[in-house]
Structure 1
Amino acid sequence: MTILQQVLRDKGHDVFSVGPDNTVLDAIQLMADKNVGSLVVLNEGILVGIVTERHYARNVFLKGRSSPKTKVGDIMSTRVVYVTPDHTVDEAMALMTEKAVRHLPVMEGEELVGIISIGDLVKSTISSQRFVIEQLERYITR
């Protein structure tokens, strides 16, 4: 069973962040520049929230608010669901499904060590299934 520590080793530990006082425009620009769908929100190095493209669409765009004037802190989610490196891919997928989120910060104690997306988990699952299929095919053809 694959644990998230292995997923992060393959993917990398890069985490992109903004502060709660940054504008939504800053956040959306960073997401576009880095080709990611979410950013963690850090205040003096402490995880205080998460902001996603969904937050932007629902809380800025659909409400006619101004991206350059709206602060990230006004639209971010402060109830951050997270996992640890020892969680399995299956546990993370179940949590994402239950909480209807697509991105999970990975915390080791108080330290943010990475972030995983549903795409990362799907990629890991496909890779694991491919390995099992290859092993079964080798076994059968012997």
Structure 2
Amino acid sequence: MAIKEIMKKPITIKQDDEIYDLIKLLRTHKISGVPVLDADNYLVGMVSESDVIRALVVQDSDINLIAPSPLDLVELPLKTIFKMDEYRKEINEALKTKVSEIMTTEVIYITLDSSISDAATIMADKKINRLPVVNNGVLEGIITRGDLMEELI
């Protein structure tokens, strides 16, 4: 069976959209990743929840909760309040990051004439959850592991 018989219409995002828009899109559609398109609607990347999480991780070596000194116990609540404000600002700035800055640009894809077996093999070998279906650089559809599972029953 050809992939074009089971592929779905993809939910996509533009490379110039912000992470904030991506999060809203993923939550609204209850999905974990989407293809990324350029202004001409060509496939230029893939982006997932993992990419968002990596972009939003805030690490701080200033807070050391292992065996705090007595002075730290007094200062810690004040430091924590100050740091929380800093974290909020950093997160708000990170949410403005363009999707193009966090997406995977080496996209693994299949073509319209590929088979379901081809898709399953690629997804298993490459350990990927979704596979764009492309025709001359233009995104035609998408197939997910869930789509493959549906075909088995």
For normalisation by structure 1, the TM-score amounts to 0.75
| Consecutive unaligned residues in structure 1, runs of 5 or more | 128-142
Corresponding position: 1:53 with 2:49: yes
How far 1:32 sits from its partner (Å)?
1.1
The change in CA–CA distance for 1:37 and 1:98 in structure 2 (over 3 A counts) is same
Larger Rg: 2
| Consecutive unaligned residues in structure 2, runs of 5 or more | 60-89
The residue number in structure 1 matching 2:32 is 37
The residue number in structure 2 matching 1:62 is 57
The residue number in structure 1 matching 2:104 is 77
Moved over 6 A (4+): none
CA distance in structure 2 between the partners assigned to 1:113 and 1:19 by the alignment: 15
Q: Secondary structure of 2:111's match?
A: coil
The residue number in structure 2 matching 1:98 is 125
The residue number in structure 2 matching 1:4 is 3
Q: Larger relative CO (CA 8 A, sep 6+): 1 or 2?
A: 2
How far 1:63 sits from its partner (Å)?
4.6
One-letter amino acid matched to 2:26: M
The residue number in structure 2 matching 1:16 is 11
Q: Percent same amino acid among aligned pairs?
A: 29
| Number of equivalences | 120
Corresponding position: 1:107 with 2:102: no
How far 1:72 sits from its partner (Å)?
0.9
Give the CA RMSD over aligned residues. Answer: 1.8
For normalisation by structure 2, the TM-score amounts to 0.70
How far 1:70 sits from its partner (Å)?
2.1
One-letter amino acid matched to 1:26: D
How far 1:106 sits from its partner (Å)?
0.3
One-letter amino acid matched to 1:108: N
